[in-house]
Structure 1
Amino acid sequence: MTSNLLDRQIDDILGSVLEDATGNVLVVNPSADAIEEFVRVATRFEGDLPSVHMLADERTLKDVMDDFIVASNAADLIDQGVLALRTVEETPENSLLVTEDSVVALVTAGNRVGGLTTDDDEFVSTAYDAYMTAWDDAAEFKLRTPPISRVRQTLETDISPEAENDFSNILDSLETARGDGEGLDEVTISLLVAAKNEALLYDISKWGEDVGIASKATFSRTKTKLEDMGLIDTEKVPIDVGRPRLRLKIGDDRLRDADNGQLATIAQSILN
């Protein structure tokens, strides 16, 4: 890559670097937007991805990974062995994409993004060695969100194929899944899906804890909140031994016949 990448979208620049890279790619001090776009571009990338080492500010990474959609797709990339995340206490001044062949500085000017590129052998070699040393000294970022492929596979197996399909469609209809007013969180989505498919609270909360989404206690607290707000309802199901289990059901008539996109929108409006 010898030419500057001017007046581009960040995803265009990231895609160009991933396509041209022949070895490791160092993503140095990315912005929150760059991290989100990288995960999106890498998830949709056709072909073999290079090994990507992302060296980022810890607070920025934590904020971005609070979004289940971004974090679960990043976890997939980590699980595939193509992405690793580390943090540094003092971040470099520049946002860079560094490969063994080129260095691209990401420069934002208003709504425009430029990738200022050099392939000068001496400069590239010096930069690559310097940031690989920084990488070796950096602390690993432990992403606790489970990979989205594992979430979908186990949801299909443990609950039902219909529940997995509803879960995926709701995620696809959302721009973010944070539960902060901008989107539903993963526990709320799971419980709404379970209610739509009339699954047992025990089954969905056990699945959620086993796969690593949240504890059974978190599922129980969220269920109580959704029930108090009228989004879901429960009915007791007797079992041979022990206390009856609770079957989840949709509680609000507006949600009953809604498709998954409408269900997410209506649920968000009620919760807000």
Structure 2
Amino acid sequence: MTSNLLDRQIDDILESVLETSSGTLLVVNPSADAIEEFVRVATAFDGDLPAVRMLADERTLKDVMDDFIVASNAADLIDQEALELRTVAETPENSLLITEESVVALVTAGNRVGGLTTDDEEFVSTAYDAYEAEWADASSFKLRTPPISRVRETLESDISPEAEQDFTNILNSLETARGDGEGLDEVTISLLVAAKNEALLYDISKWGEDVGIASKATFSRTKTKLEDMGLIDTEKVPIDVGRPRLRLKIGDERLRTADNGQLATVAQSILN
């Protein structure tokens, strides 16, 4: 790839680089938007991904990975050994995409993005070696979110195929899953799905803790909040030994009549 990529969307530039890259791709100092778009493009990429090494600002990475949708898809890429994340104490000046064949500098001007490209052998070699050295000295970024494929597989096997489909449909209806007013968080979504399918609190919270979404205590606190707000109800289910367990049920009529595409929107409006 030798031509400049001008007046593009960031996803177009990222896809062009992925399509023409072999070996290792260094993604240096990406913006929050670029990290989100990279994860989205790489997840949907139809082909063999290069080995991607992302060297980013720690605060930016943390902020982006607070979104369960982005983080769980990034975790899938890491699990596939297609992505590594590291952070640096001093952020590089430029946002770059570097392979052994080319260097693309990402330049934003208003709502326009350009990929200024060079394949000058000496410059590319110098840049690649310099950022390979930066990579070697950088700190590993620990992503604690589980891969989305593992979340779906275990939800299907531990709760039910219907619960997994509901979970996936709700995620697909959301732009973000942060629980900060912009979207529902992953624990709330899990509990709403469990209530829709009348699963036991014990089962969904054990699943959530085992897969790495959140602790049983977090599930219990969130359940109490949702119950207090009337989104979900519970009923006691006797067991042979010990205290009865709680079955989750949808509590608000608006949620009962909402399909999966509307469930997240209705729940968000009630929570707000």
Same fold (TM over 0.5): yes
User: Does 1:131 find its partner at 2:128?
Assistant: no
Report how far residue 23 of structure 1 moved: 1.2
Taking the aligned partners of 1:29 and 1:2, their CA distance within structure 2 comes to 22
Output the amino acid matched with 2:156: E
Taking the aligned partners of 1:51 and 1:127, their CA distance within structure 2 comes to 18
Taking the aligned partners of 2:257 and 2:201, their CA distance within structure 1 comes to 21
Percent sequence identity over aligned pairs: 89
**Counterpart of 2:117?**
117
SS of 1:116's equivalent in the other structure is strand
Taking the aligned partners of 1:22 and 1:70, their CA distance within structure 2 comes to 24
**Counterpart of 1:162?**
162
Report how far residue 22 of structure 1 moved: 1.5
Q: Answer with 17-26 or 211-220: which moved more.
A: 17-26
**Counterpart of 1:201?**
201
Taking the aligned partners of 2:159 and 2:92, their CA distance within structure 1 comes to 46
Alignment of 1:247-258 (within 5 A): 247-258=247-258
CA deviation map 1:14-73 (0-9, x unaligned) = 000000011100000000000000000000000100000000000000000000000000
Taking the aligned partners of 1:206 and 1:119, their CA distance within structure 2 comes to 52
Output the amino acid matched with 2:121: D
What is the aligned length? 272
**Counterpart of 2:218?**
218
Output the amino acid matched with 2:3: S
For structure 2, list consecutive stretches of 5 or more residues without a partner in the other structure: none
For structure 1, list consecutive stretches of 5 or more residues without a partner in the other structure: none
**Counterpart of 1:174?**
174
Alignment of 1:59-78 (within 5 A): 59-78=59-78
Report how far residue 257 of structure 1 moved: 1.8
Aligned residues: CA RMSD? 0.3
User: Does 1:101 find its partner at 2:101?
Assistant: yes
Output the amino acid matched with 1:86: R
Q: TM-score of the superposition, structure 1-length normalised?
A: 1.00
Taking the aligned partners of 1:243 and 1:46, their CA distance within structure 2 comes to 51
Taking the aligned partners of 1:130 and 1:7, their CA distance within structure 2 comes to 29
